[in-house]
Amino acid sequence: MISLTSPIETRAHGWPAGLKLAGLCVVTIVLFQMQSLWFHLAAFATTLTLYALPGQSFLRAGLRSLKVLWPFVLLVGIYHLIIRSPVDGLVIILRMLTAVGLANLVTMTTRLSDMIAVVRWLATPLRALGLRTEYLETAIALVIRFTPVLLAKGTHLTEAWRARSARRPGWRVILPFTVLALDDADHIADALRARGGFDAMKE
């Protein structure tokens, strides 16, 4: 499985995965508790600074990953302009960008295997009850790995539609996108079976 870890080495790459994930949880809780616009402006600026510290290449890679949020930013912005509450809308947008940006920063500086190891440790009580936690571990790994892949395929479908038609793609790409997702799921299932399935994970 290909990791989403950035090849550009940073100091955060050497930090324990559990520490980074715990810190992300704490910061996210604080972000949702605070309502001050100035606080969220400072938090977003700090996040951009963290991306910029390792260099321009790391910063560009991080900003590219945030481009998928623009439809949500647009919807939230338009809605709060309609209800004449632009400050509240800006707070929500900054909170969303900061939270997702920090989560992506953790992903870029943490090996997928290390994150799964944290999940395995947290699920220790469940294994003591006889539950098979490898399903959870694999599901988390697949979500982390294939969410950007599916987003990229959705973008390619939209671009292919625009290259062939002057009409907006809209709902028309939903069916081919679903077929692509199901096809990927079939390939993943075949790959798991070829490697012995979940029974092999217990060995």
How many domains, in total, are found in the chain? 2
Asked if the structure places residue 60 within a domain, the reply is yes
Task: Establish if 120 belongs to a structural domain.
Answer: no
Answer whether 69's CB lies under 8 Å from 100's CB: yes
Please tell me whether residue 188 adopts helix, strand or coil conformation.
helix
Domain membership flag for residue 166: yes
The answer to whether residues 101 and 41 belong to one domain is yes
93: which residues sit within 8 A by CB, 6+ positions away?
Answer: 73, 76, 77
In a domain, 2, yes or no: no
Kindly state the average pLDDT of the residues 5-11.
78
Predicted confidence (pLDDT) per residue in 78-88, tens digit = 999 999 899 99
Q: Which of 75, 110, 145 is the last residue of a domain?
A: 110
pLDDT band at 197 (very low <50, low <70, confident <90, very high): low
On whether residue 124 sits in a domain, the answer given is no
| Same domain (yes/no): 42, 73 | yes
Residue 39 lies in a domain: yes
For the cut 60, the answer to whether the pLDDT of residue 200 exceeds it is no
Query: Is the domain of 89 the same as that of 29?
Result: yes
The gap between the terminal CA atoms of the chain, to the nearest Å, is 19
- CA 13 from chain centre, in angstroms, equals 18
**179, part of any domain:** yes
Quote the domain boundaries for residue 136. Answer: 132-203
Say if 57 falls within a structural domain: yes
With a CB cutoff of 8 Å and minimum separation 6, the contacts of 113 are: 3
| pLDDT interval class at 96 (50, 70, 90) | very high
The backbone region for 148, taken as left when phi is positive above 0, alpha when psi lies in -120 to 50, beta otherwise, is: alpha
